[in-house]
Structure 1
Amino acid sequence: MEVNGVERYSGSCGCGQLTYRLSSGPMIVHCCHCKECQKQTGSAYVLNAIIEADRVTWDGDATEHNLSTPSGKGQVITRCADCGTAVFCSYLVRLGKLKYIRVGTLDDPDVCWPDVQIFTSSKQRWVPLNPDIPSFEEFYNFQDVWPEAAYTRLNAVFGK
């Protein structure tokens, strides 16, 4: 689907060599303030659009980097082989069945506003929280937060 000449859910790395497309919109968008995301992105937080891994296709050379996570299971970050931009990751605690798309790499990042703010207990003090977006000091219960249609998609991924 195109909006103003831009594929609604497509994106690329910083140099444009690695491109990707989502076959649907994400299930949910996290604004994560955890220290791990701050360290890995060099920013105060990261916006991740969560989608089923089989709904993401990409072209171009990529590298994968394994990094630790607080769960101990780790994650795999996919980066452009040329410029090193991180375009998405997969948390192994989720068995690699989901992709966490870095919203800033979308051609039109405005299509993915955050649905929830997480790990706000470790946010930078100067970052204000939007009172219109649910926020949690740590994580949350999926069933309590995810819209019903998204929660159904999530359960389908894990055969529930």
Structure 2
Amino acid sequence: MDKIYEGGCRCGAVRYKVEGAPQIVGLCHCAECRKETGSAFLHYADWPMDRFSVEGRYETYDGRSFCPRCGGTLFHLSEEESRAEIAIASLDAAPSAFTPHREGWIKRRESWLTACPEAEQFKEDPV
């Protein structure tokens, strides 16, 4: 049986589940992800849509979904609706099992951050 990971927003109004191992785990240093997270990068993981479920009302701006009550960053559902990109920090459990294997927009990575040793590096968006 596949492991189920649960997460949600800060206030608990939106809850989601993803099942099994993610297809992709990465870090993104682009300006949009920085603004979305209020941090130097976004740690994310992608699951197929058929392994993702959500309960509660969420809002979406420019493809990025969040809780309208507390503003918590949650996920990005792909335009073709084939994958759910989860903001790993929104998982209930610490994301230590999700080591990034790719790192995008490294040309914007802060000089005080080092590259993830096991991650493939991309100057901009991963191909």
> Does TM, scored on the shorter chain, surpass 0.5?
yes
TM-score (norm 2): 0.86
Q: Distance in 1 between matches of 2:24 and 2:35?
A: 23
Residue matched to 1:123: 109
Runs of 4+ in 1 over 3 A off after TM superposition: none
RMSD: 2.0
- Is 1:102 aligned to 2:84, yes or no? no
| Letter matched to residue 85 of structure 2 | Y
Paired position in structure 2 for 1:27:
23
Offset at 1:46? 0.2
CA–CA distance in structure 2, aligned partners of residues 61 and 81 of structure 1 = 8
Higher helix share: 1
Cα separation, 1, equivalents of 2:86 and 2:123: 22
Alignment match of 1:9 (pick from 5, 21, 26):
5
Question: How far has the Cα of 1:50 moved from its partner?
Answer: 0.7
Q: Secondary structure at the match of 2:113?
A: coil
Identity in percent: 29
- Larger radius of gyration between Structure 1 and Structure 2: 1
* Residues 18, 140 of structure 1: alpha-carbon distance in 2 compared, 3 angstrom cutoff: closer
Report deviation, 1:24.
2.0
Provide the C-alpha distance between the structure 1 equivalents of 2:126 and 2:42, rounded to a whole number of angstroms. 17
